[in-house]
Structures are given as C-alpha cells and as structure tokens.
C-alpha cells in the first residue's frame, strides 16, 4: 500500500475537493470515456493496435489517458483500460471484439466453472501499474482516477459470454443457484479488489467502480445478491484514504443502496435529477453527473442550456445535503461526439 503520507498532495485540485466535501475553486468536470473514439488522435493510435494490446502497453495507456487532458482541460484523468482487463489477469480467456465488446471463450455456467477462475495475478496486470507510474509523473496537478468493473457487471459478461440485453442467464443463476452465484461474486470481488490495489499502490488519486449493468436488477435483488460483494471491495480499500465513486446506468431505484456500499461519491445517470438523487443517497456523499451524452449531438445551444441546467441541479443537490457535485455525463462519451463540443463544454462549466 502507498501510505497516505507519501501520496501526491493535490489540495487545489477541484475534482478532489468536490469529491471530499470541500469547496472547489471551480466546478470540476471530467467525462466517462473521455479518452476514446470521439478523439481523432485516439483513433489514429488504435488503428495500429487492438483494444487488448492497447490495454497492456504502458506507454499507450499513458498517451491515451493524457489525450483528453491536453485537448479539453478536464479536471481529472481516468486511466485508459477496460473492465475485463483484470479477468485476463485471472486467467480468463477474454477478448474485446470490435463492434461487439468483451467476448468470453468459455462462459461460466457451473460451480466447476467458478472454481476454475484463478485469483488475480498482479504480475499479469503489471503493465497497468507501470502506466499509472508514468501518468502520475506526467499529470502534474491533475488527479488520476483508477477504475474497475464491479463484481456483478463482470459476472454478467462471464455468465452470458459477452454483452447481453436482458442478462437472462446471469439473473437465472443468481435466482436459481444462489450458492454458485455467491461463490462467483466472492471470486470476482477478490479480482476487482486486487486490480484496484495494483492501481492504488502505483499511485492513483481516486477510484471508480463501474457497475454498468446493475440497473437491470430490482432493489431487493440488488441488496441480496450484489450489494454485499461491492461493499466488500470498498471496505477493503477504505484505508487508502482516496475518494471512491460508485456508478451504474439505470440505477435510479438503487441509488440509496449503492451509496451504502461505501463509496464517497455516487454517480447519477441522466434519468434521475441530481436533486432527487441527493434525497435518495444518504447526506455527506458527493454526486457525479449527469448530462445525457446524446445532448452533445444536438448542437451548441442545446448543449449550453442543458449544461447550465445540470449545474443548477447540482447546486440544488448540495443544498439538499450532497457533499459536492462533479460535472460529468450520465454515461460515456458517444463516438460521434464532436471533440470541440466537449472542449467548449469544459470551458462553459468552469465559467459557471
């Protein structure tokens, strides 16, 4: 563990201030998938490398992570990686197929399949730690967010064998075979935990846990079958003393429970107002979000109006008990987004 006393000290970083309940000098803004297909410089690099190759090349990880910092002037960098990278480190045969997403060669369907998943070998993801070291040196006063996929979202890819609309096999295992399900979730919580430890030990300033598919669950099923495993991850990492964010899509009914998992920041998608989210999440948590990514395709007058509304909503959320507001999208930047709109959006939010 990197001791708190030897971590980067960035007292003026607006992102870290808002995430820890302090008053930032400006409204902090960063974007999920800010390093990605909306940037021509990213596409030029990816034309020469597969996604998995890029995720295991420290210099490429560093360069891609830095691209939106240079272009947009956002208040935080997020490590370029993919949520299935730690599965590779646990011996799972997974690839990221263009225009499809993660594909698992041998889906996990039985107790024996679960038993075959190994613990994460940190050496197999050493490139990620090396990239973090490069980034900490390169970013100056800009904080670096590490991330991982939450156990439920990883489980969904493993059980379905790839992306799924209804997650039917996953939910069927969860409901019909809870013993195998909880064994799988315990294993994946360990994988997630160790992957985040690699990043934290290398020096990331904050972490975000993506539970991308948790919104497919009822609140009761989330509390019984998912929450304990996500909470284990946050509890094990609390001693690092860094801001921790919990984010999912379509999670309006789950926001209170997700806040109870132990993160200091709760991400909100565009379907729920920040003020409503503040009423659902216990006081003292910061909120992150929540401009609809599609708004960025609707022309600048629409973007400006919607962004101002999000900022106003964030202020109402703080008045209602939220510890702070970090401006973000309600999900990732869409590939068709004009990078110039993102740059202008950052400048607008900072001016407010």
Tens-place pLDDT, residues 188-212 = 999 999 999 999 999 999 999 999 9
Judging by DSSP bridges, how do beta strands 94-97 and 101-104 pair with one another? antiparallel
Q: How many CB atoms lie within 10 A of CB 52?
A: 17
Q: Return the CATH number at 152.
A: 3.20.20.210
Overall domain count for the chain: 1
Q: Residue 199's pLDDT is what?
A: 96
Bridge partner residues of 77 (DSSP): 144
Residues near 208 by Cβ (< 8 Å), separated by ≥ 6? 78, 145, 146, 147, 244, 245, 246, 247, 267
265 token code pair: 């920041």
Helices (H) and strands (E) in the chain, counts: 16, 9
127 token code pair: 């490139």
Note down the domain range covering 21. Answer: 4-351
Does residue 74 surpass a pLDDT of 50? yes
Q: Residue 4's pLDDT is what?
A: 46
- Strand order across the beta sheet in which 206-211 lies: 77-78, 144-149, 206-211, 244-248, 265-267, 286-291, 325-329
Q: Residue 278's pLDDT is what?
A: 97
Report the mean per-residue pLDDT for the chain.
93
Q: Residue 3's pLDDT is what?
A: 46
* Cβ proximity of 92 and 159 under 8 Å: no
Give the DSSP H or E segment for 104: strand 101-104
pLDDT category at 335 given cuts 50, 70, 90 is very high
Residues near 309 by Cβ (< 8 Å), separated by ≥ 6? none
Three-state SS at 22: coil
Q: Residue 6's pLDDT is what?
A: 54
* Mean pLDDT, residues 298-327: 97
Does residue 224 surpass a pLDDT of 90? yes
Sign of CA dihedral 250, 282, 4, 24: positive
* Mean pLDDT, residues 229-235: 97
* Cβ proximity of 59 and 303 under 8 Å: no
Tens-place pLDDT, residues 243-258 = 999 999 999 999 999 9
Catalytic residues: 33, 37, 46, 82, 157
pLDDT category at 155 given cuts 50, 70, 90 is very high
Does residue 1 surpass a pLDDT of 60? no
Does residue 85 surpass a pLDDT of 70? yes
* Mean pLDDT, residues 28-47: 93
Tens-place pLDDT, residues 260-277 = 999 999 999 999 999 999
Distance CA 265, CA 117 (A): 31
């Amino acid at each position: 563990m990197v001791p708190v006393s030897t971590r980067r000290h960035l007292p003026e970083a607006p992102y870290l201030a808002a995430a820890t309940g302090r008053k930032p000098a400006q409204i902090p803004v960063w974007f999920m998938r800010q390093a990605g297909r909306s940037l021509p410089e990213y596409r030029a690099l990816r034309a020469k490398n597969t996604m998995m190759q890029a995720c295991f090349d420290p210099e490429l990880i560093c360069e891609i992570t830095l691209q939106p910092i240079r272009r947009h002037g956002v208040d935080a960098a997020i490590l370029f990686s993919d949520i299935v990278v730690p599965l590779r480190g646990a011996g799972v045969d997974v690839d990221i197929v263009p225009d499809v997403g993660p594909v698992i060669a041998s889906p996990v369907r039985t107790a024996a399949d679960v038993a075959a998943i190994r613990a994460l070998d940190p050496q197999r993801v050493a490139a990620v730690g090396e990239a973090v070291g490069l980034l900490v040196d390169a970013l100056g006063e800009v904080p670096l967010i590490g991330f991982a996929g939450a156990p439920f979202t990883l489980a969904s890819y493993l059980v379905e064998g790839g992306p799924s609309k209804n997650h039917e096999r996953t939910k069927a295992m969860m409901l019909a075979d809870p013993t195998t399900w909880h064994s799988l979730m315990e294993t994946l919580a360990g994988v997630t935990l160790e992957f985040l430890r690699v990043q934290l030990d290398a020096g990331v300033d904050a972490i975000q846990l993506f539970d991308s598919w948790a919104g497919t669950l009822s609140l009761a099923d989330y509390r019984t079958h998912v929450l304990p495993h996500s909470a284990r991850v946050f509890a094990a990492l609390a001693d690092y003393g860094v801001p921790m964010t919990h984010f999912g899509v379509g999670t309006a009914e789950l926001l209170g429970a997700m806040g109870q998992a132990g993160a200091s920041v709760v991400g909100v998608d565009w379907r729920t107002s920040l003020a409503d989210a503040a009423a659902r999440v216990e006081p003292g948590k910061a909120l992150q979000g929540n401009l609809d990514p599609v708004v960025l395709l609707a022309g600048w007058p629409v973007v400006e109006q919607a962004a101002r509304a999000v900022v106003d909503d964030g202020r109402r959320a703080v008045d209602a008990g939220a510890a702070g507001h970090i401006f973000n999208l309600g999900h990732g930047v869409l590939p068709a987004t004009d990078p110039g709109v993102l740059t202008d959006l950052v400048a607008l939010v900072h001016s407010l």
